[in-house]
Structure 1
Amino acid sequence: MDFDPDIFRFHHIGVACRRIETEERGWIALGYAREGDRFEDPQQGIAGVFIVGPGPRMELLEELPGSDTLTPFLDAGTKMYHHAYEVPKLELAEEILRQYRGKVISPPKPAVAFGGRRVVFMILPNRMITELIEL
């Protein structure tokens, strides 16, 4: 299948951190600033903020109390653990990634960070986690 640039539009890189405020200080030194308010998503077990600056938009994420959503990444020392794309049709984008052996690791669900729009997380054969965000 040929790549269609109208299907996948880059949105952000997800960064796992133990404390958003601690992580954010390093990014501020690089010229980043918050884009919007802090959010909490109990269904995904995370709290986060988006930051923008001289590079790509970043989503700084920490676990909510009792959650272990980010634990595997934090324990492995992996900070940048997913990239995200806005897509006009979630099911179509998911199917395209399946054709490239992508697998769903978190099925579609509404996300607080995107006003209830659905997101799905998939893992690609190169072990990169991709978040698809419904437009």
Structure 2
Amino acid sequence: MKLHHVGVACADINEEIANIHRLHKVIDQTPVVFDEQQNAELVMLTLEDGTNIELISGKQVENLVKKRISYYHLCFEVDDINAEIERLTGEGAMLVSPPKPAILFNNREVAFLYLSYGLIELVSSH
């Protein structure tokens, strides 16, 4: 597993994009996309040190935003998403959302699990 990005919940994705550009040196940004399966607007920003920040707004994160919680998840890139899910659930993780294609990642599969330290996303490396 390799850290891929940090997921951040926000109320207004365009406002938060502007905030991040103001606070950090952004070297790359995907277009904002609406993912019907996640019922959320998504965008990925890459900072000059290589850190990726995914902004998420919409129904998916509405309750977090209302509670003023912006941290949403850590995402790890994996070679075999199903094997990693099996390994993590065997260690006590709870599968929240099984693998499904994600538009932000060119339809590579993603899955969400809850671990002792919070929510993680797994994204397939291929």
Same fold (TM over 0.5): yes
Query: Any gaps of 5 or more consecutive residues in structure 2?
Result: none
Report the residue type matching 2:29 in the other structure.
Answer: E
Contact 2:39 2:60 in 1 (8 A): yes
Which residue of the partner structure matches residue 2 of structure 2?
9
Contact 1:34 1:49 in 2 (8 A): no
Equivalent positions of 1:1-135 (< 5 A) are 8-29=1-22, 30-54=24-48, 56-63=51-58, 68-126=59-117, 128-135=118-125
**Distance across 2 between alignment mates of 1:13 and 1:74:** 16
Contact 2:95 2:113 in 1 (8 A): yes
Contact 2:101 2:110 in 1 (8 A): yes
**Distance across 2 between alignment mates of 1:81 and 1:110:** 19
- In the TM superposition, residue 57 of structure 1 has moved relative to its aligned partner by 0.7
Aligned pairs, how many?
123
Identity among equivalent pairs (%) = 27
SS in 2 for 1:43: coil
- Give the superposed CA RMSD: 1.4
Query: Any gaps of 5 or more consecutive residues in structure 1?
Result: 1-7
- In the TM superposition, residue 33 of structure 1 has moved relative to its aligned partner by 4.7
TM normalised by structure 2 equals: 0.89
Q: Which has the higher strand share?
A: 2
**Distance across 2 between alignment mates of 1:96 and 1:129:** 16
TM normalised by structure 1 equals: 0.84
